Amino acid sequence: MGLDSKKDVHLGGSSAGSVSRLEILEGPSGRRVRSEAERARIAAESLLPGAQVSEVARKHGATRWQVYDWRRRLRQRGMLPPCEASPPTFAPLVVEGGLEEHQAPAIKPEIAIGDVVLRTDTAIDAEQLSRVIRAVRASR
């Protein structure tokens, strides 16, 4: 049989509403068989600066993973240069003006004892503060 030949197969049973004929097409399965040279050419094209693997694959009717696989296999055989990461690039850091220490706004705690309000600063010692509070309470 040739690539475009057809086989007719008759299925038994009634022809009312059921399949009575089945066509079997023989021919290419749709899988592409690529030569080693073609795979190498596509893999090399995907390595060009600015090339995107998915676009190269689409252009040649392949999938992205196939191109990556071809590249890996060619590298293992020494037919492609080893994958080297480009050295990191840094932008220069320019500091303008002096660095000023960022200070949180000063907290001024206020303690109300009856009609007396104590205003202090956060640097006060706890023992000293408790003596002042006891003295205010005792004077009332």
Residues 82-104 pLDDT 10s: 766 667 788 888 877 766 666 66
Cβ count near 53 (within 10 Å): 20
- H or E, element range at 25: strand 21-25
116-119 and 110-113 strand pairing? antiparallel
The helix/strand/coil state of 70 is helix
The letter for the amino acid at 107 is I
The predicted model scores a pTM of 0.41
Measured CA to CA, the distance from residue 114 to residue 58 in angstroms comes to 82
- How do residues 40-58 score in pLDDT, each as one tens digit? 999 999 999 899 999 999 9
Where is pLDDT greater, at 106 or 75?
75
